[in-house]
């Protein structure tokens, strides 16, 4: 790659960091206002008590646990897809990997808040942590909720490390392009990176190790989340299929979120030269495959329940097929299969706009799927006298909307302080860099040195 091309890539991808328009402040203000309203709603809930929500006996889980499962699922596609594409050395992945890895970290952070939001006394959340206690009080390690704590925190730590490792060379580039307090901050974040042969070898080895390690962690985390349901003797929950079913749904919704995020970045940060239609087409193919896999799991789950013909499970089955939850169920089927299948199957429709439309419907459908897993089963337990009705209250709705705004806000702020596309991976192009002269090093930003 010529120094001119390397300079142009750096200029294009550093523009959002070095130049700020009024649109940025407007977007941050709007999203920040929505997030503030969500925080206010939660403060109101804490002050007034949990009675301001629609959660009543016997439906003790509602919007909050739905959002928890949804956001934890969204997080899986990012790091998982990035790690797999890195291991197979897919060349088209370079502009996509960081966009995906950021989704993982932010979605995990948002999802992990909901168990605390769901607590009547959120200040006692630390009881989930196995800390030394004078009274010998420890969490119940047989509880899937404790398993969630360990699984999610392990995945968050691994995802943060997987995101930060490839950021180091780009932090060094920003350090060399800025002055004043920015140069000092990015200098600290760059960890003394100079682009030496030894540093490149260490970085590549660490990224390879993390890519291998993060895949089983990602798969296990959502399997553990499924244990929250499959370990309970609740109709249509006590199923051995829930592990792969939840993992498939997580990857399905995560790919859809990644496509939408890339489309917004491409449009508003003017990254048309880096996020090409082929990236959306390839991700659209993955989304099509996951749509078919998700449809198979839905069919298998309903088939086994219908064939078993257990009275308690059939009550939930008919409530979702032709009862009070039927409109939501068939909307889910339309959003997750009927709409995306023809769009993603036909190449002429598998455009950027087509994949974005399909992805939006998938996100709607997958949120409904999480809701339909939780509420109908809790509303129709084994005995009719334990049946109930769940209706979300404004507090729950506002907090739910605020979490989507928080995801967008975090993404906007991140793209303002960190290159959202890996600059060094585009410059290197996945190939070994030749040894260059000092003059060529300065012309190519003074960063990419003697990489074997």
> For 344-378, how does the pLDDT look when each residue is reduced to its tens digit (9 = 90+)?
999 999 999 999 999 999 999 999 999 999 999 99
- The 10s digit of each residue's pLDDT in 241-297 is 898 999 999 999 999 999 999 999 998 888 888 898 999 999 999 999 999 999 999
Whole-number pLDDT of residue 20: 83
Q: What is the mean pLDDT of the chain?
A: 86
pLDDT of the residue at 178: 85
* SS3 state of residue 56: strand
Q: Average pLDDT of 229-237?
A: 89
Q: Tell me the torsion sign for CA atoms 193, 194, 198, 201.
A: positive
**Structure confidence at residue 6 (pLDDT):** 66
Most confident range, picked from 49-58, 352-361, 374-383, 422-431: 352-361
Span 137-156, average pLDDT: 83
Residue 433 is classified by DSSP as P
β-bridge partners, 56 = 59
CA–CA separation, 23 and 44 (whole Å):
32
DSSP state for residue 59 in the 8-state scheme: B
What is the per-residue pLDDT across 173-222, written as a single tens digit (0 to 9) for each? 899 888 888 899 999 999 889 888 888 899 889 988 998 888 888 888 88
Cα separation, 103 vs 329, whole angstroms: 27
- Using the structure block, give the residue that is written with the tokens 């040195």: 449
Predicted confidence (pLDDT) per residue in 129-145, tens digit = 777 666 667 777 788 88
């Amino acid at each position: 790659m010529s120094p001119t091309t390397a300079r142009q890539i750096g200029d294009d991808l550093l523009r959002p960091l070095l130049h700020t328009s009024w649109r940025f402040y407007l977007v941050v203000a709007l999203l920040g206002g929505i997030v503030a309203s969500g925080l206010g709603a939660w403060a109101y809930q804490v002050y007034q008590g949990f009675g301001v929500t629609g959660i009543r006996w016997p439906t003790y889980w509602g919007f909050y646990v739905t959002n928890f499962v949804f956001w934890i699922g969204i997080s899986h596609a990012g790091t998982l897809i990035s790690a797999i594409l890195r291991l197979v050395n897919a060349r088209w992945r370079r502009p996509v990997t960081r966009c995906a890895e950021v989704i993982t970290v932010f979605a995990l952070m948002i999802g992990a808040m909901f168990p605390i939001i769901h607590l009547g006394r959120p200040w006692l959340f630390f009881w989930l942590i196995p800390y030394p206690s004078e009274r010998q009080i420890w969490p119940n390690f047989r509880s899937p909720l404790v398993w969630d704590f360990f699984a999610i925190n392990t995945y968050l730590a691994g995802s943060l490390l997987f995101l930060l490792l490839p950021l180091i060379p780009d932090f060094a580039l920003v350090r060399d392009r800025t002055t004043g307090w920015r140069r000092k901050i990015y200098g600290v974040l760059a960890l003394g990176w100079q682009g030496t042969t030894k540093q490149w070898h260490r970085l590549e080895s660490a990224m390879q190790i993390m890519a291998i390690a993060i895949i089983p962690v990602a798969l296990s985390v959502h399997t553990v989340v499924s244990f929250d349901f499959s370990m309970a003797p609740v109709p249509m929950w006590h199923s051995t299929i829930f592990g792969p079913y939840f993992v498939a749904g997580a990857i399905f919704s995560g790919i859809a979120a990644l496509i939408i995020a890339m489309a917004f970045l491409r449009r508003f940060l003017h990254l048309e030269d880096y996020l090409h239609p082929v990236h959306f087409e390839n991700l659209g193919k993955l989304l099509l495959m996951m749509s078919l896999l998700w449809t198979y799991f839905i069919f298998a789950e309903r088939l086994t329940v219908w064939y078993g013909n257990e009275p308690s499970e059939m009550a939930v089955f008919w409530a979702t097929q032709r009862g009070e939850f039927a409109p939501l169920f068939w909307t889910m089927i339309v959003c997750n299969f009927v709409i995306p299948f023809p769009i993603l199957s036909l190449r002429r429709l598998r455009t950027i706009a087509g994949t974005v439309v399909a992805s939006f419907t998938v996100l709607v459908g997958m949120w409904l799927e999480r809701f339909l897993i939780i509420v109908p089963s809790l509303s129709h337990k084994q005995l009719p006298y334990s049946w109930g009705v769940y209706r979300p209250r404004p507090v729950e709705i506002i907090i739910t909307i605020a979490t989507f705004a928080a995801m967008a806000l975090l993404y906007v702020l991140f793209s303002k302080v960190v290159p959202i596309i890996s600059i060094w991976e585009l410059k290197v192009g996945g190939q070994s860099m030749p040894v260059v002269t000092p003059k060529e090093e300065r012309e190519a930003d003074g960063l990419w040195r003697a990489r074997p």
